[in-house]
Structure 1
Amino acid sequence: MIRAATPADVPVIRDMIRELAEYERAADHARATEEQLHEALFGAHPAAFALLAEDGGEPLGFALWFRNFSTWTGTHGVYLEDLYVRPSARGAGHGRALLAALAGICRERGYERFEWSVLDWNEPSIGFYRSLGAEPMSGWTVYRLAGEPLRALAEEAGKTGLSGAKSNAA
């Protein structure tokens, strides 16, 4: 069964995020607290959404996603931040059901793109995604600005008179 997450699910979502981070060899990077997740998923202005895969009420996996926007198509899309199925439940169709539910959201809302990233070494996931018809975006490289470089660049906004508070961002 796939269902939308509720505030009561935040602790199990946090646990599965930690499990995913361990699998991805980056446990020390998974620092989000339950309070942060609750605000992001269920606060006054949700930044993300989550679906849970369950069997008999037992949480077996989750998908955490947010809306993105394509200036080329003029439509929103879904960006899948995390997809995780617990090892004991893999191979039973839960990951596929979570992705199918997100594809259904795209169809229902007129979103034209459903995108995500996968680690280059994660061959089981790559094979699974290809079996669904997903294709890698060749010619594109993901970039990230974080930590000190992000702080340093943000300081430039103050020097130019621009700040995030003056933008039209939510």
Structure 2
Amino acid sequence: MIRRAVESDVPEIFAMVRELAEYERALEEVRADEEHLREALFGQNPAAFAHIAEGEAGEAVGFALWFLNFSTWRGVHGIYLEDLYVRPSARGGGYGKALLTELARTCVERGYERLEWSVLKWNRPSIDFYEALGARPQEEWDVYRLTDDALKQLGTV
């Protein structure tokens, strides 16, 4: 079952964020805590949204965390999927596909024209999964990021 996250899901979502970071070999980069996540998802002006995949016993086995983006060329919003994670014990059970299906349904219902995300180049199982659903890499684009000192240096000019 896929459902919208509620505030009481925050501890479990945060635990899965840490599991995902560990899987991606970047646990040391997690600086957020449950309060950051709670504010982003359920604060005065939520900027992010989440869905939960529940297993047979109602336990959280995965999540999708997303936010809106905007295409100036198409003139409409889209969804940017920040994180999609299914716990190893639940992989192969259709939860990842169900989460993506729910986000695609949200796009269609709201008139959004894109569902986008990034995937690590070495993460072949995820790449194969996404391509089996019909997703294609945007090879003409490279992702750039400013963080930490470089961000501070540019932001204080």
Q: Considering the TM-score relative to the shorter chain, is it more than 0.5?
A: yes
Q: Look up the match of 2:43.
A: 43
Q: Look up the match of 2:99.
A: 98
Matched to 1:90, the amino acid is R
> Partner of 2:112: helix, strand, or coil?
coil
Give the alignment of 1:15-164 within 5 angstroms: 15-55=15-55, 56-156=57-157
Flag structure 1 segments of 5+ consecutive residues without an equivalent: 157-170
Q: Look up the match of 2:4.
A: 4
> Partner of 1:18: helix, strand, or coil?
helix
Percent identity over paired residues: 65
CA offset digits 1:59-87 (Å, max 9, x no partner): 00000000000000000000000000000
CA-atom RMSD, angstroms? 0.5
Q: Distance in 1 between matches of 2:35 and 2:25?
A: 24
| Rg (Cα) greater in structure | 1
CA offset digits 1:129-155 (Å, max 9, x no partner): 000000000111000001111011111
- TM-score norm. by structure 1 comes to 0.91
Flag structure 2 segments of 5+ consecutive residues without an equivalent: none
Matched to 2:134, the amino acid is G
Tell me by how many angstroms 1:43 deviates: 0.4
Q: Distance in 1 between matches of 2:30 and 2:17?
A: 7
CA offset digits 1:93-136 (Å, max 9, x no partner): 00000000000000000000000000000000000000000000
Q: Distance in 1 between matches of 2:151 and 2:82?
A: 20
Q: Distance in 1 between matches of 2:115 and 2:54?
A: 23
Tell me by how many angstroms 1:30 deviates: 1.4
- TM-score norm. by structure 2 comes to 0.98
Matched to 1:37, the amino acid is L
CA offset digits 1:37-63 (Å, max 9, x no partner): 000000010010000000221100000
> Partner of 1:22: helix, strand, or coil?
helix
Matched to 1:54, the amino acid is E
Q: Distance in 2 between matches of 1:79 and 1:139?
A: 18
